[in-house]
Homo-oligomer: A and B are copies of this chain.
């Protein structure tokens, strides 16, 4: 049964290389499972409140446009960081939103985002249930951090992991060029969860030594231990790469970057985590007297669509499409997700879960995937992540560069 009316899609939170592939999936799902128009909200719920609404088919006009959308990094519709208040009756934000749904005859609402976005879906669906609204709300997960629960993994993670593993592999080769002892410290995103940093270990193989150590935020950072291990490893391997999550903390809860010079806080009052690798590099250089180098993968790891994982882009689109199918079957207050039904061969299928079981929870790397010394990931981790980076996306290029699609 098709959704009888129009649907609307939004994107929220930090972008990924696959978030537009999910948008393409919802768009294609809309064409299959919805009778009406497919709207997009600009800059998430924030833009929706100002009725900044477009009709997607005015912009995505061909199959090629859909393919370009899948390959374009960042959020095509723009994003926001907007936290809905609690859904108490008479709240004017909710009244405004539901009056817009009515005005545009919107019967399905799809929100692509991370934890906070699932909270938005949860609140809107609860408000709808309480007020007898027939609008259906489905969340579509995305985050490079892979820290959402229940889903096997999050769309967007595989592409970021592929970028991290690829450049780690290149940096390991690069580091071995001179006949001298050197340590390259690569800083990788992940404030609380080490999934992405762990992905650097995928670089190890017949043709690559891989990182000598992998330091995750799940394990307290012990500088004396790290220094000692490096001094030992460097005796036999002259040049090594170690990877470290931006969020590693000492046992007494201090961010490693705070061990060096102060870096201030961002606009949300979070401690700014730049400089973790640089802090460690400077300390090691001073204490061990060896050449060190800090490399921060920075924003590149969330937008490097030029080396996206085909598995990730395909799954991201599938989850988006399934969200619309689920709504067409009457589901609401759910998150579409991936369920792994086989490891070998790797098979993931789409499913849904109650969004209340997902929102505001986070998934860390379990101890079983971290080695005993707490300085590397295990084979179980590799086995879990490897399939997610498989497959190359054929680039659509123009003038020697990957082609994108943009709205304005």
Residues of A participating in the B interface, judged by any CB pair closer than 8 Å = 14-15, 43, 46-47, 72-75, 78-81, 162, 165-167, 169-171, 173-174, 176-179, 184, 202-203, 205-208, 261, 267, 274, 278, 291, 293-300, 302-307, 309, 386, 389-392, 395, 397-406
Contacts and interface: CB of A to CB of B under 8 A. Distances in A.
Given A167-B304, A171-B303, 7 more contacts: A15-B174, A72-B173, A166-B401, A173-B303, A207-B403, A208-B404, A392-B397
Contact of A81 (B74, B173, B178, B302): B178
Given A162-B400, A207-B404, A392-B397, A306 B170 contact: yes
B203 A170 contact: no
B176 A74 contact: yes
Contact of A300 (B79, B295, B400, B402): B295
Contacts of A399: 202, 205, 386, 390
A178 B43 contact: yes
Contacts of A205: 398-399, 401
A167 to B, nearest CB: 6
A173 B395 CA distance: 17
A337 B232 CA distance: 45
A268 to B, nearest CB: 12
A299 B239 CA distance: 15
Contacts of A206: 398
Contacts of A15: 174, 177
A306 B303 contact: no
B299 A296 contact: no
Contact of A79 (B43, B177, B305): B177
Given A295-B299, A405-B207, A78 B177 contact: yes
A306 B166 contact: yes
Given A43-B179, A167-B300, A296-B298, A401 B173 contact: no
A177 B74 contact: yes
Contacts of A14: 177
Contacts of A298: 295-296
Contacts of A207: 398, 403-406
Residue picked from A73, A165, A170, A402, most chain B C-beta under 10 Å? A170
A400 B79 contact: no
A80 B302 CA distance: 35
B78 A179 contact: yes
B73 A174 contact: yes
Contacts of A402: 166, 169
Given A176-B74, A205-B398, A170 B406 contact: no
A116 B169 CA distance: 28
Nearest to A78: B177
Contacts of A202: 399-401
Q: List the 10 closest A-B pairs by CB distance, nearest first.
A: A74-B173, A389-B400, A174-B303, A390-B400, A170-B303, A207-B404, A74-B174, A79-B177, A295-B298, A75-B177
B299 A404 contact: no
Nearest to A19: B177
Nearest to A398: B205
Given A173-B406, A261-B261, A402-B166, A178 B296 contact: no
A389 B202 CA distance: 29
Contacts of A176: 74, 78
A291 B72 CA distance: 24
